[in-house]
Structure 1
Amino acid sequence: MTDILKAHVSINVRNVERSIDFYRRMLGIEPSKVRAGYAKFDVLNPPLNLALNEVPSLDSAGALSHLGLQVASTDDVLAIRSRWAKAGLVTRDEMKTDCCYATQDKTWVHDPDGNEWEAFVVLKDNLPETADAASCCSNGVCTTASA
């Protein structure tokens, strides 16, 4: 089997400079590459190649639901929330929430184009198949419309 070095996420953005500022503050690192209408962040932990591509307009819905960073503990979630808040980002918490057949603690931020990022820990996995735990992201429990 081939080893995967890192995940890659490419996001369309309306203003690459504004998005660079957001992701610089959210991730706490500088972009590894910046070109006209393009930026790339190489995140070491977790391994992630995040690309930002400037486009003239964004489709109203798109295929992307949200993006996330899974961590080991609630303390890690709270530490990330604290770092994001100190960087001037608006956070939203969901603690002890049932989502995707698991109980999780999470905190959220929106990027300048409305893409939602969560930092989360799974507290209890494999909950029974119930409406409350099944598809929270499709019914708006773990995501909200951006302003």
Structure 2
Amino acid sequence: MVLKPHVAINVKELDASIEFYRYLFGEEPAKVRPGYAKFDLDEPALNFTLNEGGEIAGGINHLGIQVGSTEAVIAAKERLKNAGLASFDEMDTTCCYARQDKIWVTSPDGHRWEVFFVKEDADSFGQSPTIPEAGSACCTPKQA
């Protein structure tokens, strides 16, 4: 049996969100129906669905994709940049008790995503080097 996490989020505009996640994941959706889209990813193993409508705000701090190298972080940054999506870099930062290289990008609905590589464990929680007040939110920048 394969275990694959499932995350379903509400979005305001399905087409805009499909476009954003197509570039974030580097893949096409596996299914698109009226008011619904599904990305069935192998890497990371994730069943990720978009549901148009409903409450957007919630208790999510941020979402992330852990990758295997700094080069993979940079490749994600380039993919997002080429799609015209702005990203925010935090290279060689300490966050959530780990030294990491990461980028941040925000979906059309305000969901903050990080693409990150963990270099090593750290003894401190850390905080954003460029946005110190974000440290209490696991280093998430207020605007990515």
TM-score, normalised to structure 2, is: 0.85
The equivalences for 1:1-147 within 5 A come to: 3-59=1-57, 62-125=58-121, 127-128=122-123, 130=124, 132=126, 139-140=136-137, 142-146=139-143
Deviation string, structure 1 residues 15-72 (Cα, Å, up to 9, x no partner): 111111111122222211112211111112111111001115533xx11111111111
Query: Partners of 1:88 and 1:100 in 2: how far apart?
Result: 29
- When residues 131 and 18 of structure 1 are mapped into structure 2, their CA distance, relative to the original with a 3 A threshold, is closer
Q: Distance between the aligned counterparts of 2:141 and 2:74, measured in 1?
A: 20
SS of alignment partner, residue 123 of structure 1? strand
> What is the alpha-carbon distance in structure 2 between the residues aligned to residue 35 and residue 92 of structure 1?
32
- Using the TM superposition, name which of 38-47 and 23-32 deviates more: 23-32
Partner SS, residue 112 of structure 1: coil
**Greater Cα offset, 3-12 or 62-71:** 3-12
Aligned length: 139
**By how many angstroms is 1:137 displaced?**
6.2
1:146 to partner: Cα distance: 4.2
Residues in 2 aligned to 1:146 and 1:114: alpha-carbon distance in whole angstroms? 9
- Contact preservation (8 Å) 2:102, 2:114: yes
Which residue of structure 1 lines up, in the alignment, with residue 130 of structure 2?
none
Question: How well do the aligned residues superpose, as a CA RMSD in angstroms?
Answer: 2.2
Contact between 1:26 and 1:87, CA under 8 Å: does it hold in 2? Answer: no
Identify unmatched segments of 5+ residues in structure 1. none
The 1:113/1:71 distance shift into structure 2, 3 A limit, reads same
1:142 is aligned with what amino acid? C
User: Percent identity of the aligned residues?
Assistant: 49
TM-score when scaled to structure 1?
Answer: 0.83
Structure 2 segments unaligned to the other structure (5+ residues): 128-132
